[in-house]
């Protein structure tokens, strides 16, 4: 039977705080940084001329002609923190997972510095703490789960609730960051698209958080009903997660 979730190790103070109860506020200095980054982004667009980044990305998505190749760097949270600290290795990628304001500032800074057409978002976690396993946040990467994995039989899935991205774990902070990024783009009238992330897919959610990779392949052959049940739960969560991202950030595109 479902034994419940374990809080992720090294969690920030706002962990499990509902979305509408988060207390993040921009300081005067942070607002100045945002304004400056946005001014530079607009300057980059004006100096190049041609299509706007939003027009260019939409042309890419719909297979239409565009004025040049779309420019994006797979920055994730690794490179945005390097941009923020001038490659001093002082701010860690894990800091942007724990502090959503850093996530927003880092993406704005990277788009401004490298004249990108859009920021490469990815989740600040992959549900490692949602299925009953023991997990921990780390400095150089996404959170990791510590074996043994929690799901070995159908009984381990009995009663397992579908997580709510508005209330559970680190997801409310990620939603806040996506919403703020959209709000900032709109406020500064920047024609920059959002290519949102609801990674990973239902199979990887199960591999990475419920069974383990090798075990998933073995169970798939020996007990496919267990895999199907786990992926049903994961898929239901991803539908809720995707709807939340659409509602809060209004992205031009989503990937997983």
66 is in which domain, residue-wise? 19-255
Q: 30-84: per-residue pLDDT in tens?
A: 999 999 999 999 999 999 999 999 999 999 999 999 999 998 887 778 889 999 9
pLDDT for the residue 79: 87
Using CA atoms, how far apart are residues 78 and 45, in angstroms rounded to an integer? 25
Q: What is the pLDDT of residue 64?
A: 97
- Mean pLDDT for 118-135 is 93
Q: Tell me which of 38-47, 68-77, 118-127, 206-215 is least confident.
A: 68-77
What is the spatial distance between Cα 152 and Cα 158, in angstroms, rounded to a whole number?
12
Residue with tokens 């992720």: 8
Which pLDDT belongs to residue 122? 86
Residue 125: CATH number of its domain: 3.20.20.210
Structure confidence at residue 243 as a pLDDT band (50, 70, 90) = very high
Q: Is 246 in contact with 52 (CB distance < 8 Å)?
A: no
Asked if the structure places residue 24 within a domain, the reply is yes
Work out how many domains the chain is built from and give that number.
1
Provide the mean pLDDT of the chain.
Answer: 95
Task: Evaluate whether residue 86 is within a structural domain.
Answer: yes
Q: How far are the Cα atoms of 42, 98, 128, 181, 240 from residue 149, in angstroms, in the given order?
A: 47, 24, 10, 35, 24
Q: What is the pLDDT averaged over residues 14-29? A: 97
Residue 77 pLDDT: 86
- Rounded Cα gap, residues 241 and 123, in angstroms: 11
Does a structural domain hold residue 116? yes
pLDDT for res 134: 96
Average pLDDT estimate for 212-232 = 96
The model's pTM is 0.95
In a domain, 7, yes or no: no
Nearest Cα to Cα of residue 54 among 255, 197, 250: 250
Residue 13 resides in a domain: no
In a domain? residue 2: no
The whole-number pLDDT of residue 1 equals 67
* pLDDT bracket for residue 15 (50, 70, 90): very high
């Amino acid at each position: 039977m479902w034994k419940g979730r374990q809080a992720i190790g090294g969690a920030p103070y706002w962990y499990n705080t509902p979305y509408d109860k988060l207390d993040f506020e921009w300081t005067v200095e942070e607002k100045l940084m945002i304004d400056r980054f946005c001014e530079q982004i607009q300057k980059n667009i004006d100096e190049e001329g041609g299509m706007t980044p939003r027009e260019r990305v939409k042309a890419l998505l719909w297979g239409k002609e565009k004025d040049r190749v779309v420019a994006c760097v797979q920055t994730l949270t690794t490179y945005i923190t390097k941009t923020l600290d001038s490659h001093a290795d002082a701010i860690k990628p894990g800091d942007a997972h724990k502090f959503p304001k850093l996530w927003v500032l880092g993406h704005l800074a990277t788009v401004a510095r490298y004249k990108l057409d859009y920021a490469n978002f990815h989740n600040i976690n992959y549900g490692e703490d949602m299925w009953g396993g023991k997990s921990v946040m780390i400095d150089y990467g996404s959170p990791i789960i510590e074996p043994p994995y929690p799901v070995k039989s159908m009984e381990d899935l009995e009663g397992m609730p579908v997580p709510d991205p508005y209330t559970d774990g680190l997801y409310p902070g990620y939603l806040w960051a996506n919403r703020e990024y959209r709000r900032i783009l709109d406020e500064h009238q920047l024609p920059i698209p959002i290519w949102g992330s609801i990674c990973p897919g239902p199979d990887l959610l199960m591999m990475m958080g419920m069974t383990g990779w090798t075990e998933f392949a073995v169970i798939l052959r020996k007990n496919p009903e267990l895999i199907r049940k786990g992926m049903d739960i994961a898929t239901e969560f991803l539908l809720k997660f995707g709807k939340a991202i659409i509602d809060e950030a209004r992205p031009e595109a989503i990937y997983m």
